[in-house]
Amino acid sequence: MKICIIGVGYVGLVTGACLAEIGHDVICVDIDSDKISKLKTGIIPIYEPGLEEIVTRNQKTGRIIFSTDIMAGVQKSDIIFITVGTPPDETEAADLSHVKAAAGEIARAMNGYKVIINKSTMPLGSTKVVQGMIEESKINLHHFDVVSNPEFLREGSAVEDFLHPDRIIVGTGSQKAAEVMTELYLPFNAPILIMDPVSAEMVKYASNAFLATKISFINAIANICEKVGGDVRQVALGMGYDKRIGFEFLNAGPGWGGSCLPKDCKALVKMAENYGYDFQLLKGTIQINENQKRFIVTKVQELLGDLKGKDIGILGLSFKPNTDDIRDSPAIDIIHHLRAEGALIKAYDPVAVDNARRTLKGVKLVHDAYEAAKDSDILLLLTEWDQFKQLDFKRVKSLLRKPILFDTRNFLDANALRNLGFIHKGVGR
């Protein structure tokens, strides 16, 4: 099939690369000419395991090409994916301006039947909005269908997730579009659920809100465990064996973040409000998450006293391991809170330092974990990168001013660290 991807970010690039990998002809277009120039020369602008190999392989065979020419991309394709960003606007609702710009470009380029796929996370009713925009433009009166097809990939394992999805959600009332979508996704060997567009749009918001709620829930339990002397890891294990609950998303820590959960939860609260429903549960989920980041700072204060002039070493900046994405990362928020208390920060991340540089003015970004530890009053682990498990902790201890290690992800071996003489702190234990 001939496919055009509009918006070559985390979702668009992975979608394009994986569809090329299974044999489709893919044109990836973006308004960011720098990004497209880099991609043309084989430079992958994001860190995502396995992505570079797939892009390079398919670029060589010409199955994936990169361009800024949206009109040509659309005209040469039968299936158009919209994968542009939908960041929050000033009211915390999803900003549809990029989607609308893309829809306008599609309307101008229409030259035959096309299935236009809303893959970006878009507010309830957006399938209709995009359909209406293209129809109303009346520039080219070709038949087309707009379909909602939300994406569930996780950064850090995006390629794997895209190639092996749990399910495919397709929101459309058109038989013809449903057939095209089924043909497109059949090779993925996953259940394809065809439903009305609003339900499909809601699946995405509801899933993210549910996952965020699960994390906030376990963080609340963790905070109670600390007060009563329980261990949240044991509690989560005991809960997880219940098949109705499961083990995933039950790790207590510094709170959830990333480019999706925060903005999608806030957007769902806002949408519910607009439809006259006060989504108190989700508001609580969001509030617990904000409190959790401040709670981490309070615990650092309990360990060090007044933070003014204290040196704090940070391990991890990305919102989760295996990605360079720092959007709404709890680590970044916590660093801002610590700095507001007067702390001096040295931070290390295996891949997110370049992205963090733009946001973290006044923070010393260092080249390895040992540099972060050197002459620090505490070492704070904020992202659970695997490589932090391999550190020479004897050396880390010798570099620290005080041997305090606060593992906010409950990731390291607490007993081993205590045996080495560390004062070890975790969350909910």
CB 164 to ligand NAD: min, Å = 15
**How far is residue 26's CA from residue 24's CA, in Å, rounded to a whole number?**
6
Binding mask 104-133 for ligand NAD (x = CB under 6 A): ----------------xx------------
CB of 428 to ligand NAD, least distance (A): 27
CB of 347 to ligand NAD, least distance (A): 23
How many whole angstroms separate alpha carbon 122 and alpha carbon 243?
A: 31
3-state secondary structure (DSSP) of residue 77: coil
Tell whether residue 6 is a contact of ligand NAD (CB under 6 A): yes
> Which residue lies nearest ligand NAD, judged by its C-beta?
9
Q: How many CB atoms lie within 10 A of CB 366?
A: 18
Examine residue 259 and tell whether it contacts ligand NAD (CB under 6 A): yes
DSSP letters along 315-371, please? E--SSSTT----TT-HHHHHHHHHHHTT-EEEEE-SS-HHHHHHH-TTPEE-SSHHH
Of 72 and 101, nearer to ligand NAD (C-beta) is 101
Q: How many residues make contact with ligand NAD (CB under 6 A)?
A: 27
State the binding string over 61-100 for ligand NAD (x if CB under 6 A, else -). ---------x------------xxxx-----------x--
Q: Is 260 in the site for ligand NAD (CB under 6 A)?
A: yes
Residue 213 as a binder of ligand NAD (CB under 6 A): the answer is no
The per-residue DSSP string of 134-193 comes to: HHHH-SS---EEEEE------TTSHHHHHHS-S-EEEE-S-HHHHHHHHHHHGGG-S-EE
Decide: is 147 part of the binding site for ligand NAD (CB under 6 A): no
Residue (of 227, 242, 210, 193) closest to 299 by Cα position: 227
CA distance 133 to 10: 26
What x-and-dash track marks residues 386-425 binding ligand NAD by CB under 6 A? ----------------------------------------
Q: How far is CA 212 from the centre of its chain?
A: 12
DSSP label at residue 61? T
Do 95 and 88 contact (CB within 8 A), yes or no? Answer: yes
> CA 337, CA 253: separation in Å to the nearest integer?
16
What is the rounded CA–CA span in Å between residue 419 and residue 429? 17
Tell the smallest beta-carbon distance from residue 37 to ligand NAD (Å): 13
Q: Where does this chain touch ligand NAD (CB under 6 A) — which range of 26-34, 223-231, 308-316, 370-378?
A: 26-34
- List, by residue number, the catalytic residues: 260
Contact between 7 and ligand NAD per CB under 6 A: yes
Interface with ligand NAD by CB under 6 A: which range of 30-38, 127-135, 138-146, 369-377? 30-38
Contact footprint for ligand NAD (CB under 6 A)? 6-12, 29-32, 35, 70, 83-86, 98, 101-102, 120-121, 151, 153, 155, 259-260
